[in-house]
């Protein structure tokens, strides 16, 4: 922030410029081409099959905000932020940048006004169908989204494991667990634990590669299905990472009740979710809430809203453990 409010506001208004610049840089895999050291813009243009002059204009703009570093010789190198765009970064965000600037997301956010005026889901309004159906019909878009979710799991897994003690559980069922990176992290931290990864068949089809790479395939079952119908039984803990926020209360309760039917009385429900802070705090969660409004049609929730949602689904909220920019919400079944 500067000392001039109008300049600060102007920067926020023009924030979409940064989103699209990062989208293009991520899609071209510029950061991956710089992993072994700096390169000239001409080299990068050849590697990315792009126009050298235009690529230079893109990269110098991103360097001006610290994403890359520009030398006087028109060469570019990674910075700590740019390193997060690499596919193998410890805290990767490249796939999220690629997803966030994609045409169908861009078009939907362009209709935020429709959601605000009507309360309706902008994605349904723009595309004539829900986002899950849309991605199923377009596997290439679904693959980018799945990769983004896997990367975000990698970035938050360490904080989640540090914040919450999973050691008492013999089997963890990851419901809506994508390709299994979050579950893999839990299993690696607890070598006697077993896991069950559960998600749509088309999603878990790519999970065995991830589980093998993470060294936990021998301790993990992979099951395909819909959490609106039934989830696997036999878990001591049922984990859902940023699943419930994708849905409005009616659908969220249906998912939670499906878990409740599968759970023994002694099992625990573990939700990994953002929590909406009091007024004037934590803008990231509140903008994520707008993202839920326009894209999947869900919402971020306050602590009190989670308590009510869980109670209506057959659970009692027992604790909330902050884990970086996210929270681990524990609940137990009640009669």
Q: Across the strands, what pairs with 63?
A: none
Q: How far is CA 90 from CA 11, 61, 151, 289, in A?
A: 29, 25, 9, 26
With vertex at residue 171, the alpha carbon angle to CA 167 and CA 175, rounded to the nearest 5 degrees, is 110
Maximum CA pair distance of the chain?
69
Radius of gyration of the chain (CA): 21
Helical H segments across the chain, by residue range: 5-13, 15-27, 30-33, 41-48, 52-64, 80-83, 94-100, 103-109, 112-118, 122-127, 131-137, 139-163, 181-189, 201-204, 207-213, 249-262, 283-294, 303-312
The three-state DSSP-derived secondary structure of 194-232 is EEEEEECHHHHCCHHHHHHHCCCHHHEEEEECCCCCCCC
d(C-alpha 228, C-alpha 198), whole Å: 12
Per the annotation, the verdict on 114 as an active-site residue is no
Which of 23, 51, 69, 245 is labelled catalytic? 245
- Separation of first and last alpha carbons in the chain: 51
Instruction: Count CA atoms within 13 Å of residue 320 on its CB side.
Output: 16
Smallest CA-to-CA distance from 132 within 66, 79, 196, 202 is with: 202
Six-digit token string for 296 = 């999947």
d(C-alpha 152, C-alpha 156), whole Å: 6
Positions marked active-site: 245
């Amino acid at each position: 922030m500067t000392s001039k409010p109008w300049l600060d506001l102007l920067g926020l208004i023009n924030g979409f410029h940064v989103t699209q610049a990062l989208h293009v840089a991520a899609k071209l895999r510029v950061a991956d081409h710089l992993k072994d050291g700096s390169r000239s813009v001409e080299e990068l243009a050849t590697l990315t099959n792009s126009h050298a002059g235009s690529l230079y204009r893109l990269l110098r703009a991103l360097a001006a905000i610290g994403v890359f570093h520009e030398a006087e010789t028109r060469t570019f190198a990674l910075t700590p932020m740019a390193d997060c765009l690499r596919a193998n970064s410890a805290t990767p965000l490249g796939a999220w940048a690629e997803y966030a600037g994609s045409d169908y997301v861009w078009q939907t956010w362009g209709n935020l006004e429709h959601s605000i005026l009507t309360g309706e889901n902008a994605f349904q309004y723009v595309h004539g169908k829900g986002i899950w159906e849309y991605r199923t019909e377009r596997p290439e878009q679904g693959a980018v989204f799945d990769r983004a979710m896997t990367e975000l799991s990698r970035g938050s897994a360490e904080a989640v494991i540090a914040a919450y003690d999973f050691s008492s559980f013999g089997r963890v069922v990851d419901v809506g667990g994508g390709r299994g990176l979050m579950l893999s992290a839990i299993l690696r931290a607890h070598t006697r634990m077993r896991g069950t990864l559960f998600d749509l068949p088309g999603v878990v089809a790519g999970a065995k590669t991830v589980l093998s790479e993470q060294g936990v395939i021998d301790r993990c079952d992979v099951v395909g299905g819909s959490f609106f119908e039934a989830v696997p039984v036999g878990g001591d803990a049922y984990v859902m990472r940023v699943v419930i926020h994708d849905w409005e209360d009616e659908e969220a309760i249906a998912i939670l009740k499906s878990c409740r039917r599968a759970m023994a009385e002694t099992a625990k429900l573990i939700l990994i979710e953002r929590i909406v802070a009091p007024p004037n705090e934590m803008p990231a969660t509140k903008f994520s809430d707008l993202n839920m409004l326009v894209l999947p049609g869900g919402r971020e929730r306050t602590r009190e809203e989670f308590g009510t949602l869980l109670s209506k689904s057959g659970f009692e909220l027992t604790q909330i453990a902050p884990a970086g920019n996210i929270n681990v919400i524990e609940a137990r079944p009640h009669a």
